Every structure is written in structure tokens, then in C-alpha cells.
Amino acid sequence: QVQVVESGGGLVQAGESLRLSCTVSGLRVDGFTMGWFRLVPGKEREGVLCISPSGGVTYITDSVKGRFTISRDNAKNSVYLQMNSLKPDDTAMYYCAAGYSGGPNSCANEAAVHYWGQGTQVTVSS
């Protein structure tokens, strides 16, 4: 059974940083594209960015460019989201996505995601 577990969310002030972690069990992620989505109540879940098996990064949400970075540690079967200079608009539930049908080209498509985590809440106060 595949499990995807996120951690690292919390309440921070604008301008601060958070690092989200996502660890997968039951599946080796070496050959999979991994990514992050976020969901704001009342809106559709949106892709944020993803990382290919070779480490190539695809940004889906322009507003996070220059502030968010994604990395992976295949030895730990994990992917990370470093979020700097956080803004109130970044407030959302963040979901880890493990594996995409179609690889990095499908990073914006939540229907392409193979496995989801339960989400971790990020709240940024102004």
C-alpha cells in the first residue's frame, strides 16, 4: 500500500519561510515525477511546481517563482518544498503529488496524479 505523508505546515507571518516535506512509503519514487498542489477554500486545487526524476523543475504557478523551490532525496524517498518570502496569498492546504501520468508535462493536471498525500495547512498572516 502506497502512503504519501506531508509535514511542515504551520502558521507564519508574511515574509517568513517554511519547508514542507513529503515522504512516500510502499513505492520507490526514483523514477517518478513528484510535485505540489495547493487548495484554497472556494477555489480549485492548483498545481504549484513539480520535479522530474532527473531533477528538472517545472513551475505551474508564476507567483511562486523566485520564492519556492522543490528538491528531492531519492534515498529518503522524499520531496521537499522550500517556501521563502511567504505571502498571505500563499495560505492554502498543500498536497504532495507522487507520480504523474505523462511525467512533468502533466504537472498542472491533478487528474494525472497517481498518489496524493493528506495535505498540510500553511497559513500566512499579514
pLDDT digits (tens, 9 = 90+) for 22-52: 999 999 999 999 999 999 989 999 999 999 9
Q: What is the pLDDT of residue 102?
A: 87
DSSP letters, the chain, are --EEEEE--EEEETT--EEEEEEEESS--TTS-EEEEEE-TTS--EEEEEE-TT--EEE--GGGTTTEEEEEEGGGTEEEEEE-S--GGG-EEEEEEEEETTGGGGTT-GGGEEEE---EEEEEE-
